[in-house]
Structures are given as C-alpha cells and as structure tokens.
Amino acid sequence: MDESDVVKPDGKQFESLGIVRDGSESTQTKNVYKKGYHVTEACALTAHKHPISVFSRIHSSAEKDYKSVNTITFDAVKQAAALFGKATFVMDRGYDDNKIFLILDHLKQDYVIRLTSKRKLLYHNKWTKATELRNRRKGKIKADVFYKGKEHTAYLSHVKVQITASRKNIYLILVYGITEHPMMLATNKEIRSKEDVIRIARTYFSRWRIEEYFRCKKQIYQFENFRVRKLEAINALNFYITLAMAFLAQEELSPETNALKVSIIQEADPIKDKVSFCYYRLAKGISGILSYAKEGIRLWYRTKRPAYRQLCLKLTV
C-alpha cells in the first residue's frame, strides 16, 4: 500500500480541491505543499512480481463529511482482505500507526511495516526506542536485495519484541548497509531461519514497484492532466486508467510466444531485452499499434448481420 498525490497548482474550479504534499518536489529536508488531491492505492503483485491495483481512490480533506486518510486506508485494507482472504501488507513509514497495527491484527493479516525513529517497542518488559535496539546490533545475515533499481548487499538482524498497540509478539528486522540509517521493519510473520529473515526483507523491498506503478500511471496516461472537475468524475477517470494498467499486467503474464505480446514488444522496439518493470514498453507498443487506427477500432470488427426472419402468420381454425 502507498499514498500518492495528484497536484493541480493552478486549479480553481475543481471540486473539493485541498492542499497536499507534492512528493515529486519534496525532499527529506523540505516539504512542498500545493493544491491537489490525495490518492490511496493498494496493489497486489502478480506471479511475475508486477503490480496490479486492487484499490484506488482519489480523495480530499476538503470534502464534505470527510473523516481522515485513515478511514480510506481502512477501506483499502478491508477490501484487500476480503479479496484475498489473507495477505501480507507491505507499508512504508507513513503507516507506522497503532491504528494500522490494530486493524491488521483484527483482520488476522500479515504485515511488513517500516518503522519511524519515534517508535517504542517492548523489549524484555521495558519500553525501548527502536533506534536504541538498532544501534545495539550489527547485521549478521548477508543478503542481496534489489532497491531503487540497483542490486545491493544488505546485512540483516532480527529481534523478538512487542508492539505498543496490541502487546502481541512481533519481530523487528534491522537492515544495514543500504541507507544512511539502518531500516527498521516490523513484521508479525513467523521467523524460523535466516531464509525467513531474507524473504521478509525482500518482501519489503518489492514495494518499489508500487512507486514505479505511480510514475508509470502519471507518465503514460498523463494522470495529472485531467480536465473534469467533479470528484466523482475524477475517480471514474482513475478507474478507467486502472483498467488500462490491469490490461498491461494481463499482457505481462502472457507467454513470451503469445502472438499479441510479440507484436506489442516488436512495435515498442525496446533497447534492452529484459527489464525489471515492463509496463512502459507494453504501453508504448500498444500505443504504436493503435496509432494506425485513424477512425477508431470500430471498423476493425465485422458486424454480424442478423439471420433472415421470414414473416410467419399463425392461423387458427
């Protein structure tokens, strides 16, 4: 799961236009706020590790009867839980909230959530800062992980703790050697070996794909360039874009020998044979094929004429 934004800095007539943090211009030391909308998105990974959206909603704090971002997040969690039965929710530091932990425990879902430096954990019956536990240890498990488009060598450690929300036993996984400050991941998944620790860490690092999903959505379909003003119409437009992205996921799952997929890749004319995220080339190939349809695709289909129906009269004696 992740939160994004749709920025309309010059918009004046859009319904319930609020103020959001512009993720594209903000940095760790500076926050830039502009007029726009919040976007809450939940994506599942396919068998080939590509994201497909299962929940997407555009909302604003300026809406009438609007409660909070957490309310939308809870809707996304409940919808995903109802769809999959049991899933592993991977979330960034923005979701380090006791309410998030409680609802995931209530729905009996697994999670991997990155913690903030303010988080306190119960360790040996004492409330201890997560950063203090992080500084006491060094990574003993070596693992190769894919982070921000590059392969990295990480060193992992784990410790059994309790979260403040439910007092349930969880594991704190510490990731050293990638970022300036070691990452702190909280998970309720069972750990029985070092392979489990590596698998959970890699599960968290797979969330870069949903970030790339947002970029792809904005670049290919010009997501922020809509002209409709009603929030309901904006969400309807977002729904159609989500369907188009789902079609890309479906084509990505097709065999490499599939005739349609071969034609799409051939039309895209990619520089590299293999990439980690192939939605861009699929969208480019489909766009190239549809560019030949000057009058739309309606004329590509032969209309089936109805069978000749002879006039029949029923005679009664």
User: Do 165 and 186 share a domain, yes or no?
Assistant: yes
User: Do 84 and 221 share a domain, yes or no?
Assistant: yes
Mean pLDDT of 49-74: 92
- 214-246: per-residue pLDDT in tens? 889 989 998 888 889 999 999 999 999 999 999
Q: Answer yes or no: is pLDDT of 158 > 90.
A: yes
Mean pLDDT of 61-72: 91
User: Do 87 and 156 share a domain, yes or no?
Assistant: no
Residue 105 lies in a domain: no
Residue 125 lies in a domain: yes
Full DSSP string of the chain: -EEEEEE-TT-SSSTT-EEEE-TTT--SS---EEEEEEEEEEEEE-TTS-EEEEEEEEE-TTSTT---HHHHHHHHHHHHHHHHSS-EEEE-GGG--HHHHHHHHHTT-EEEEEPPTT-EEEETTEEEEHHHHHHH----EEEEEEETTEEEEEEEEEEEEEETTT--EEEEEEEESSSSS-EEEEE-S---SHHHHHHHHHHHHTTHHHHHHHHHHHHHS-TT-----SHHHHHHHHHHHHHHHHHHHHHHHS-TT-HHHHHHHHHH--SSS--S--HHHHHHHHHHHHTT-TT-SGGGSPPPPPPP---------
Out of 169-173, 259-263, 266-270, 294-298, least confident range: 294-298
User: When comparing pLDDT for 311 and 53, which is higher?
Assistant: 53
User: Do 214 and 86 share a domain, yes or no?
Assistant: yes
Name the domain count of the chain: 3
Residue 282 lies in a domain: yes
- 79-113: per-residue pLDDT in tens? 999 999 999 999 998 899 999 999 999 999 999 99
User: Do 28 and 62 share a domain, yes or no?
Assistant: yes
User: When comparing pLDDT for 294 and 34, which is higher?
Assistant: 34
Residue 136 lies in a domain: yes
Out of 49-53, 174-178, 198-202, 271-275, least confident range: 271-275
User: Do 145 and 195 share a domain, yes or no?
Assistant: yes
Mean pLDDT of 168-196: 92
Residue 315 lies in a domain: no
User: Do 63 and 76 share a domain, yes or no?
Assistant: yes
Instruction: Output the pLDDT for position 46.
Output: 87
User: Do 85 and 127 share a domain, yes or no?
Assistant: no
User: Do 60 and 10 share a domain, yes or no?
Assistant: yes
Q: CA–CA distance from 203 to each of 186, 213, 311 (Å)?
A: 12, 17, 67
Residue 104 lies in a domain: no
User: Do 127 and 171 share a domain, yes or no?
Assistant: yes
User: Do 187 and 244 share a domain, yes or no?
Assistant: no
- Note down the domain range covering 265: 255-291
Residue 102 lies in a domain: no
Residue 280 lies in a domain: yes
User: Do 33 and 78 share a domain, yes or no?
Assistant: yes
Of the three residues 201, 235, 263, the one that is the final residue of a domain is 201
